[in-house]
Structure 1
Amino acid sequence: MTHFRNPSRKAPFSVRRARSLLAALTASAVLSGCGVVNHMIYKTTGDVMQGFSRNHTVPFLMESDDLAMGCAMSEATAPLLMSFGRVTNEPDQLAVMLYLSAGGCADEQAREYELKGLAALHAMNGNAAEDAMIQQKRAHTVAARRYYTAWQHHNAHYGNPADGECPDFDDDMDEFIYMAGLLSGLQALNAQIQSTSSIGVPANIGSIAARATSCLENDKWWGAPMALRATVWAMIPGAQPDGEDAFERLAIAGEQGKAAGVRLPHVFHAIAALNKGDEGMVREVIRDHAKSLENTPVNEEWRFVDAMATDMIVAVSDRLWIENTGHRTPLGRLGTFWDDQQEAVETMDLDDLL
């Protein structure tokens, strides 16, 4: 008996295959569409976050004097905000501020370890002093990496300052971030030197940053550009141009900072004086800063910068106090020193009353 295949029996199988293929294609298209939509959402979110942070978060922070909160914010939010560079343009401008601030956090830790080490030396505790100094160098290494990252993002956005060209600034905040980037370069080199290790910060970065300050309006920025340039002159042999006096320039910049209520130039002056080993000049800068805090109100738009400057001046004062007394600057006595002559107090002889 002969059996014949029924051609119609293949039809249901073919239909099922077609349906399965259609379902697979539909699912693939939907999933692909979701990926596109998600990318668009991420990109839009990233653009909004970058714009909001630059135009509102940074100015808001600059009006605050809470340094610890600013430090915590930069360390906590940097990974989140920088990750948007994976879906949209790299947030280079924002990165300058984030990594400069985060570098300052590590620098603050390094200063604390330094003070602990000095206190231990004063107490003749060699092991504790050595341990604190090791921690200090580690913190400086972290600071150097963060500062250098800020510098690299600065160059990515504005161009390499070594090329000698000045960027066209969109607004004051754009110019301020440019100055912050130059400061991050100088800080990167300084932190690397103090860490006694190398993370790849070029040795000429200070000179490059100093030259680039000519792109900034010195009077607008409280004398800070000139102070940064003069500090490099004072610290790098042969950097000072003929006919210039670094410390005279630093003194002038200090007056500009005081008048503006943003006393950042005092920090540069103190750093240059410390590098020179002139403790008398260091004391004069600290006294001048303390008097200015009493006599000149802070610029409310740049309260954070002024508070940062005071914090660093206090750190310099603390270093002197601990080296000589074993403890930090007493509360309310910034601008005074342990060996100041006490003012004579008029007393009454009890015999005169008898």
Structure 2
Amino acid sequence: MNIRILLFVTIVTISLTNCSVVYWATGRTLNSYAQDHLVPHYLASDDLDAICQGGTALGPLVASFERAGASVELATMVAQMGAGVCAERNAQEAELLYIGAVRKGRGDEALDNQARQIRFHGIAAKRYGDSYHRFLQHFGEWKGKCPSISEDEELYFLVGLSSGLLAILHDFASQGHAGITRDVPSVVVQASKCLDPKKWWGTPLALEAVVWLSVPGATPEGKDPFKQMEEAVKLGDQQGVRLARAFQIQAVAGKGDTEKMKKLILEHSKSVMQHPPKKEYLFLEAFAENLSRHESDKIWMKEKGHRGPINFSSFPGNKKKNTKEEDDLLKDL
């Protein structure tokens, strides 16, 4: 009898061990595939909805292989950033509905959409925060010194820092719902210096400037965050990857300066027409354009009660019309 029990236990142990080996190997293969093919495919797509839904669906699957001992931090980091975009877009939609309801004097509807907006900001903060957490898992906790980064890892380093900053911005917007630690801005500012701004489209400079503009007292003496942001935007425009513009728009959005916002949005629209986007990074381009389009739509919604042109190239009262679409949109106003 004891021999039978021992044999049964041995068989079960071997089976479980074999399964663990299979899961571990599958996880490594999946992570390798994600880094070599899935992530580049994501970055080369300008379909924000597809990317964000893909991140929402695939993120938990990829992350689950951690239970089998596989290292999947980088793939999960990108997936969670994509998932964060979904929640961010939902927050944007709720904000537009809120503005529309306020304009029509529908108080209950406005309050409901405002509550939805705050909740979606909280979800976005959690997802971007998880992306940042994966960044720390892979590169290690920041200790004031740049880690050893391979050339292939630099993009992931940039994505991780960007996710951290987005997590903080959305946590502010959600009234602290996600509980993102407040040391993130200082890490972003310091770690962004590990990347070459000219190589990475000015984004490291933009990350620094956003923190300076968002955190009271964070701007070092002798530094001008607006001037540095302009420098970052110029580098991004020239290279056809306007991620710096995304952070510029987010930094100015909370300041309440509508005329400044209009100026930046029109400059962004003009840049898109003058400098073709880099095909390998269409996702980052689409992300930046979505932010400018949303801010444009907010202005249109407040002033006219509807969204503006898709290429965010004009505002109510502008005499110049650049496209047939704008003519059709404005003819009855």
TM-score by length of 1: 0.86
Matched, 1:315 2:294: yes
Task: Give the AA of the match of 1:340.
Answer: N
Once the 2 structures are TM-superposed, how far is the Cα of residue 95 of structure 1 from its aligned partner?
A: 2.2
Once the 2 structures are TM-superposed, how far is the Cα of residue 239 of structure 1 from its aligned partner?
A: 1.4
Once the 2 structures are TM-superposed, how far is the Cα of residue 153 of structure 1 from its aligned partner?
A: 1.7
Rounded to whole Å, the distance in 1 between the matches of 2:310 and 2:278 is: 24
Once the 2 structures are TM-superposed, how far is the Cα of residue 23 of structure 1 from its aligned partner?
A: 4.4
Rounded to whole Å, the distance in 2 between the matches of 1:151 and 1:105 is: 17
Rounded to whole Å, the distance in 1 between the matches of 2:71 and 2:126 is: 19
Aligned to 2:318: 340
User: Aligned match of 1:257 in 212, 218, 236?
Assistant: 236
Aligned to 1:70: 51
The 3-state SS of whatever aligns with 1:335 is coil
The 3-state SS of whatever aligns with 2:28 is helix
CA RMSD of aligned residues (A): 1.6
User: Aligned match of 1:144 in 116, 122, 125?
Assistant: 125
Matched, 1:192 2:171: yes
The 3-state SS of whatever aligns with 1:276 is coil
Matched, 1:248 2:201: no
The 3-state SS of whatever aligns with 1:210 is helix
Between Structure 1 and Structure 2, whose CA radius of gyration is higher? 1
1:147-205 per-residue CA deviation (whole Å, 9 max, x = no partner) reads 111222211211223x1111111223x11111111111111111111112433212232
Q: Which ranges of 4 or more aligned residues in structure 1 deviate by more than 3 Å?
A: 20-28
Task: Give the AA of the match of 2:262.
Answer: R
Q: Is the 8 A contact 1:322 1:328 kept in 2?
A: yes
Q: Is the 8 A contact 1:150 1:184 kept in 2?
A: yes
Rounded to whole Å, the distance in 2 between the matches of 1:273 and 1:72 is: 28
Rounded to whole Å, the distance in 1 between the matches of 2:78 and 2:28 is: 17
The 3-state SS of whatever aligns with 1:232 is helix
Q: Is the 8 A contact 1:147 1:188 kept in 2?
A: yes
Q: Is the 8 A contact 1:283 1:335 kept in 2?
A: no
Matched, 1:52 2:33: yes
Rounded to whole Å, the distance in 1 between the matches of 2:241 and 2:310 is: 22
Aligned to 1:95: 76
User: Aligned match of 2:281 in 299, 302, 308?
Assistant: 302
CA gap of 1:22–1:181, structure 2 versus 1, over 3 A, is same
Rounded to whole Å, the distance in 2 between the matches of 1:160 and 1:111 is: 32
Rounded to whole Å, the distance in 2 between the matches of 1:299 and 1:96 is: 22
Rounded to whole Å, the distance in 2 between the matches of 1:179 and 1:53 is: 17
The 3-state SS of whatever aligns with 1:30 is helix
Task: Give the AA of the match of 2:43.
Answer: M
User: Aligned match of 2:148 in 156, 160, 168?
Assistant: 168
Once the 2 structures are TM-superposed, how far is the Cα of residue 237 of structure 1 from its aligned partner?
A: 2.1
Aligned to 2:7: 26
Rounded to whole Å, the distance in 2 between the matches of 1:35 and 1:269 is: 52
Where do 5+ consecutive residues of structure 1 fail to align?
A: 1-19, 344-354
Q: How does 1:103-252 map to 2 (within 5 A)?
A: 103-161=84-142, 163-172=143-152, 174-252=153-231
The 3-state SS of whatever aligns with 2:254 is helix
Rounded to whole Å, the distance in 1 between the matches of 2:151 and 2:219 is: 31
CA gap of 1:252–1:33, structure 2 versus 1, over 3 A, is same
Q: Is the 8 A contact 2:123 2:178 kept in 1?
A: no
